[in-house]
């Protein structure tokens, strides 16, 4: 009877703790530090991989002990505990895989956004370089025209001075 009670307790504990329930209490206060509200929240957190593995191993040991003693009732309870532990282990693996998939998806999405921003920055730099080149070429052409005009004006002025000197 004692063994049956222990097996029931182990099964109940295993089943009840396949997911941990974390409770938090938040106290909301005003500027005078007077309590306005107390908020209780519960979060169900899947157990870790190590916890799930250890529970499966413990359930296997309990089942082996029950089989060795030949107690059919204890064996049935141990088998139920093992099934529950395996189910909790599967849920834990699924949660880990889902989290890994979510992280990978977010990482890929972030990489795509970075690539898009880099491509846009490259296009902006190329456009700015083309504009700068165009402005430099225009400034060079303007300078060349101004130099040619100044040379023509100087030549014309020199010729006028020579013409005036010849006349006199």
pLDDT in tens, 118-167: 899 999 999 999 999 999 999 999 999 999 999 899 899 888 888 888 77
- The answer to whether the beta carbons of residues 83 and 38 sit under 8 Å apart is no
Residue 80 has pLDDT above 80, yes or no: yes
Under a CB-based contact definition with an 8 Å cutoff, are residues 61 and 82 in contact?
Answer: no
pLDDT of 15 over the 60 cut:
no
At 93, list the tokens. Answer: 């693996």
Q: For position 6, what pLDDT does the model report?
A: 46
Integer CA distances (angstroms), 127 to 102, 114, 133, 135, 137, in order: 37, 20, 10, 12, 15
Average pLDDT value for residue range 15-29: 55
For the entire predicted model, the pTM comes to: 0.41
Model confidence at 82: pLDDT above 50: yes
Collapsed DSSP state (helix, strand, coil) of residue 74: helix
Can you tell me the distance from the alpha carbon of 133 to that of 127, in angstroms, rounded to the nearest whole number? 10
Q: What is the mean pLDDT of residues 3-18?
A: 47
* Rounded Cα–Cα distance for residues 41 and 126 (Å): 54
Q: Output the pLDDT for position 76.
A: 83
C-alpha span between 47 and 93 (Å, rounded): 10
């Amino acid at each position: 009877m004692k063994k049956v009670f222990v097996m029931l307790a182990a099964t109940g504990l295993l089943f009840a703790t396949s997911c941990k329930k974390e409770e938090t209490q938040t106290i909301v206060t005003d500027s005078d530090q007077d309590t306005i509200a107390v908020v209780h929240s519960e979060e169900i957190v899947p157990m870790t991989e190590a916890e799930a593995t250890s529970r499966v191993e413990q359930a296997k040991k309990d089942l082996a002990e029950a089989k060795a003693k030949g107690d059919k009732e204890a064996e049935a309870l141990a088998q139920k505990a093992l099934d529950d532990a395996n189910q909790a282990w599967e849920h834990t693996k699924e949660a880990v895989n889902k989290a890994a998939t979510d992280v990978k998806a977010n990482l890929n999405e972030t990489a795509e956004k970075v690539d898009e921003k880099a491509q846009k920055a490259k296009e902006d730099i190329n456009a700015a370089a083309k504009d700068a080149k165009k402005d430099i070429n225009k400034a060079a052409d303007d300078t060349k025209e101004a130099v040619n005009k100044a040379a023509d004006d100087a030549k014309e002025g020199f010729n006028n001075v020579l013409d005036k000197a010849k006349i006199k």
